[in-house]
Amino acid sequence: MENRSWIRPAACSNASNCPEVTVTPDAVYVRSSLLPDAIAQLTPAEWRDLVAAIRDGEFDV
């Protein structure tokens, strides 16, 4: 993948195990800062669904 600007949450600014995201017009890419070569590609609709599920607490234990 070409060089992209990866964004991480402000809460992770100094941590080494953080989610990172980069957005293009056609896709959203997600990776862990611990495994930067393992990149998941989501469509914008999949990304919106994932963010909504996280906000709704669907992954809370």
| pLDDT single digits (tens) 3-43 | 789 999 888 877 778 999 999 999 999 999 999 999 999 99
Pick the closest to residue 17 from 39, 29, 32 (CA basis).
32
Distance CA 55, CA 2 (A): 30
Instruction: Output the average pLDDT for the chain.
Output: 91
Q: Does residue 5 form part of some domain? A: no
Q: 30, 28, 10: which is closest to 20 by C-alpha?
A: 30
Q: Is residue 41 part of a domain?
A: yes
Once rounded to an integer, what is the mean pLDDT over residues 45-58? Answer: 96
Q: How confident is the model at residue 58 (pLDDT cuts 50, 70, 90)?
A: very high
Predicted pLDDT of residue 14 = 74
Task: Kindly report the pTM of this predicted structure.
Answer: 0.81
Instruction: Identify the domain containing residue 32 by its residue range.
Output: 17-55
Residue 2 is assigned to a structural domain of this protein? no
Q: How many domains does the chain contain in total?
A: 1
The answer to the question of residue 25 being in a domain is yes
Distance between CA atoms of residues 55 and 60, nearest Å: 10
Strands 28-32 and 35-42: antiparallel
pLDDT of residue 45: 96
**60 in a structural domain:** no
